Structure 1
Amino acid sequence: MRFLLATAGSRGDVEPFFSLASVLREAGHVVRVAAPDDPDTGSDVDSVSLGVSFADLGRVVADVSGMRAFREHIRPAMRTILGRAMDEAVNWRPDVIVAHPKLLTVPIVAEHLGVPYLTVELTPVLSPTGEFPAAGVLNHSLGSAINRLSYRAAAVGERMFRADIRTARQRLGLSGSQNLFPPAGSLVAVSPTLLPRPADWPTTTHLTGDWPRQPSPEGNLDAAVRDFAASDAPFLYAGFGSMRGGDAATRAEAIVDGGRRAGLRVLLATGWGGLEPPQRCLGGDVLVVSAVPHAAVLPHAAVAIHHGGAGTVHAAARAGTPSVLVPFLADQPFWARLLHRSGLTGPPLDRDRLTADRVQAAIADAVDRRPAVDRVAEKMRAENGPATAAAVITRIAAGTGAS
């Protein structure tokens, strides 16, 4: 069978799709991934570009006001992505499409081709439940009814790009209806160990477990990173991925000084600019890199200080590495609350109020939580999210008579 996997966003939105693609290909299927230009996934899966670099887009919009950024940069980029995703599906003609919810033209092209599609929730944002609000929409549970209503926020995206949806339908000769073709199901790429399945989710919502990047052989690591991680002296990992904004230099200095006070070396990943260590805080006990493969590095770290993105949350938990969360936006406060309630982390730190004292205290608290983190890690290592998701996809494809 032929499967098209389509996604858009930063590394955390892209790498899971390549992990799933690898499993589907190993099962004998023909798989293609349509994705942005940015991440070097290290995968040899067949892939095509959607024509936009999210790293470049992030840098461009960082210093532009919200509406101007949307009008001059975000909307044109999304128009390119939506058009290319649709063109790729029309030309390649898959049996099933598996897509990130950002790709609003996927339902249209699936309707045109007469094939099923599944949406992917890398964090719970689409499948309504009364147990908790949609990640990134509300910061606290406000009761079952309000929680369920919060999932309607996803429709805002449809309204923002209504003109593009209408144009896509016209290009494919479909009626002018704005009602999107419904998905065959939703794949929630989240660990059931971290987030037990809500009792009120429909049977079409599949909690598969997350889709982690396959660990690279440690011999493939940058030599400096490999040597740093292999040393007997303990270290903390700090990285905020694609997050940026605020005083990145003061933030980095607080983490380095707090780590030193805790007796730890520091492996600091600057990412897209969330951390920018000043020269005055550097030394032989600090290694600064742009990014590292979490699966290869986190198992060696004493503590991980990070933004709380879904991918990093899962990677640290699976590695058995205690976390200190510093959420910025979107779904990150959701994960910070969830892990704190579960006893896996302390209270999250404010990204704009980091001090060496607060970082040192948070590190001490995180280390004390290692037994609970170890228990969760053991359970998560027994999960196989990509295989579970692949089984759902192939079952749906078989049900449509795809060859």
Structure 2
Amino acid sequence: MKVRTGSNIDYAFLQLFARSGRVEPALERPDNYHPPLFLSMIVDDRIDKYPGSSDLQSVTPNDFYQSPDSELFSQSFEAVARAESDQPLLPSYSPHRRSNESTLEQGGASLEKRFTWGLSEKESSPKHGSKLDAEAAFQDDGRLQISFGHRLSKRLPSNYAEPVNEIGLDEVGFRDAPPMNVNIMIVGSRGDVQPYLALGQRLQNYGHTVRISTHETFRKLVKDSGLRFFNIGGDPHELMSYMVRNPGLIPGFESVLKGDIGKKQVMVAEMLERCCLSCYEVDEESPNEGGFVADAIISNPPTFAHIHCAEALGIPLLLSFTMPWCATAAFPHPLVNVKQSGSHEPNAVNYYSYTLVDMLTWQGLGHAINKFRTKKLGLPYLSTASAVTMIQRSAIPWTYCISPALIPKPQDWLTHIDVVGFYFLDLANNYVPPTDLFDFLASGEPPIYVGFGSIVLNDPQEMTRAILAGISQAGVRAIVSPGWGGLDETMVKSAGPHVFALGNAPHDWLFQHVSAVCHHGGAGTTAIGLKCGKPTIIVPFFGDQVWPTSV
């Protein structure tokens, strides 16, 4: 197989192999070395599964050749072939790019193709690495910071996100559908699952049979809502812990060494498999529910199996989420921060940030998804270009359960993309508070609520101390929810009579009795707090929780 290498990527690529004991670097660390801008080379334990993996030899890079008519003067990238081939592995978006080859012999191994690239200006006397025209870097909160320079902005098409002036044709009679079996597939925390219980109940009231396919942790919550359940595997606590340790799209080096990536890929493969089974199998724990064959799928994006199951079964698909996931010029992707340098067209950067995230996501999961498509579903293999545009090209309808008062529908979204408002599950009417909670609320001024939901904290004791110190300094009463994050419940209970350690209580009931809410910025908690008209203090930890501050 062939491997192409370029300056900084050479060093990162070889160092990662050297750390794993699989290759001895054959080049010096560049004087101007910095981590690759767009994508760090990630090597996981999948390489051990291929024959000849112990035969890796050192790589010696050659000089790059740049055709004189190319606008892109400095472009370094790394690619690993999927199979043995002497054919060039060049990005399709770089028609003028050529390079000499460095060879990595690996005894017939077959690895996934990966790219890393950077773009820079062409100068009269060009020097590699000077005055980048586009850059990207990961921040501490896990979001991707990107910036386009003025020269690259001028080369971008101007009609990428024109306003839409059209209306749908089904404004009436939309409830006249025949009874269907609707499979709602959700991956995530309780805040991701709960809105779709409300949707499922509404669909059930319209005469449909609804199955919620999600993690085993939420079986009781789903069954108590009167809906069918199917276990798709995966541990949301473990997923959240992984996200806290690796808040961005690219895992940290410590996670690579600990084997977290391999564990996550095993979990993803299990969820892909069981999402498929959820469309036609009987739930093992509920055999008396009878058979279920899905007529339609509703899914949030992180299941990843949605469009592939719908394609294999020939049934309609509706995608839905609690944050924007469709490309728009109005604001960047929730996992991207646009660096305001003043030299670029912000709308263009916003729009293309969605494709960038899709590409990075596919680099990490494309191997598992293609294996799922070809081995389980009998579907064709997808290239990166096909995979990242598949949903958009297929015009899959989207429904965002976000209030348009907070995030109005962008003008460049077509009519198959809707912003319909929050989905609220009514839990307050049937809730009876425990005596100690009722007595605490009645004993003084309304307290503030402090809780971080499903966030798994790196140092629960230190966070608990900081929370209690802030409560004392503010001189207020407080209800503190330990949640999944593991706030030290013993410390909370011993803080004094002005602090109450909360067990399980529905937010739609609790927030009616507090003076303010302090939380991590999860979509569900934010929605309930605003619905109850309470002042909200957001303490974001990673990813999309930071995004609303930039909109």
Instruction: Give TM-score scaled by structure 2 length.
Output: 0.57
Match of 1:328 among 538, 541, 544: 541
Alignment check: 8 A CA contact 1:240 1:275 kept: no
Residue-by-residue CA offset, 1:105-157 (whole Å, 9 max, x unaligned) = 22111111111101112111x21111111112226677100011111213432
Structure 1 unpaired stretches of 5+: 339-403
Match of 2:362 among 154, 158, 174: 158
User: Are 1:77 and 2:267 an aligned pair?
Assistant: yes
In the alignment, what sits opposite 1:292? 505
Structural mapping, 1:4-403, within 5 Å:
4-39=183-218, 40-41=220-221, 42-58=224-240, 65-67=254-256, 68-91=258-281, 92-124=292-324, 126-138=325-337, 143-152=346-355, 153-170=357-374, 171-178=376-383, 179=386, 180=390, 182=394, 184-217=396-429, 219-273=431-485, 275-276=487-488, 279=491, 282-338=495-551
| Count of residue pairs brought into register by the alignment | 337
Cα deviation for residue 24 of structure 1 reads 0.6
Task: Give the whole-Å Cα distance in 2 for the aligned partners of 1:154 and 1:223.
Answer: 49
Task: Give the whole-Å Cα distance in 1 for the aligned partners of 2:484 and 2:531.
Answer: 24
Report SS of the residue matched to 1:249. Answer: helix
Report SS of the residue matched to 1:138. Answer: strand
Counterpart of 2:455 in structure 1: which amino acid? M
Residue-by-residue CA offset, 1:346-398 (whole Å, 9 max, x unaligned) = xxxxxxxxxxxxxxxxxxxxxxxxxxxxxxxxxxxxxxxxxxxxxxxxxxxxx
Task: Give the whole-Å Cα distance in 1 for the aligned partners of 2:506 and 2:315.
Answer: 35
State, as a whole percentage, how many aligned pairs show the same letter: 27
Counterpart of 2:485 in structure 1: which amino acid? G
Residue-by-residue CA offset, 1:233-284 (whole Å, 9 max, x unaligned) = 2201000112133443333333333334434211101112263366386111
In the alignment, what sits opposite 2:144? none
In the alignment, what sits opposite 2:156? none
Alignment check: 8 A CA contact 2:240 2:455 kept: no
Alignment check: 8 A CA contact 1:256 1:266 kept: no
Task: Give the whole-Å Cα distance in 1 for the aligned partners of 2:512 and 2:505.
Answer: 12
Deviates more, 1:324-333 or 1:224-233: 224-233
Going from structure 1 to structure 2, the CA distance change for 1:206 and 1:219 (only over 3 Å counts) comes to closer
Report SS of the residue matched to 2:279. Answer: helix
Going from structure 1 to structure 2, the CA distance change for 1:336 and 1:290 (only over 3 Å counts) comes to farther
Residue-by-residue CA offset, 1:160-216 (whole Å, 9 max, x unaligned) = 222222222222222234444635311111111111121111211110111122233
Counterpart of 2:528 in structure 1: which amino acid? A
Going from structure 1 to structure 2, the CA distance change for 1:255 and 1:14 (only over 3 Å counts) comes to same
Structure 2 unpaired stretches of 5+: 1-179, 246-251, 282-291
Alignment check: 8 A CA contact 2:447 2:514 kept: yes
- Name the structure with the higher helix share: 1
Going from structure 1 to structure 2, the CA distance change for 1:107 and 1:54 (only over 3 Å counts) comes to same
Structure with greater contact order relative to length (CA < 8 Å, sep ≥ 6): 1
Alignment RMSD (CA, Å): 2.5
Task: Give the whole-Å Cα distance in 1 for the aligned partners of 2:339 and 2:408.
Answer: 18
Going from structure 1 to structure 2, the CA distance change for 1:140 and 1:238 (only over 3 Å counts) comes to farther
Counterpart of 1:72 in structure 2: which amino acid? G
Alignment check: 8 A CA contact 1:265 1:286 kept: yes
Task: Give the whole-Å Cα distance in 2 for the aligned partners of 1:336 and 1:305.
Answer: 16
Counterpart of 2:228 in structure 1: which amino acid? D
Going from structure 1 to structure 2, the CA distance change for 1:248 and 1:105 (only over 3 Å counts) comes to same
Larger Rg: 2
Task: Give the whole-Å Cα distance in 1 for the aligned partners of 2:475 and 2:361.
Answer: 46
Going from structure 1 to structure 2, the CA distance change for 1:139 and 1:265 (only over 3 Å counts) comes to farther
Cα deviation for residue 61 of structure 1 reads 8.1
Cα deviation for residue 37 of structure 1 reads 1.9
Alignment check: 8 A CA contact 1:4 1:33 kept: yes
Residue-by-residue CA offset, 1:295-344 (whole Å, 9 max, x unaligned) = 11112111111111111111111111101111100111113455xxxxxx
In the alignment, what sits opposite 2:73? none
Going from structure 1 to structure 2, the CA distance change for 1:66 and 1:139 (only over 3 Å counts) comes to farther
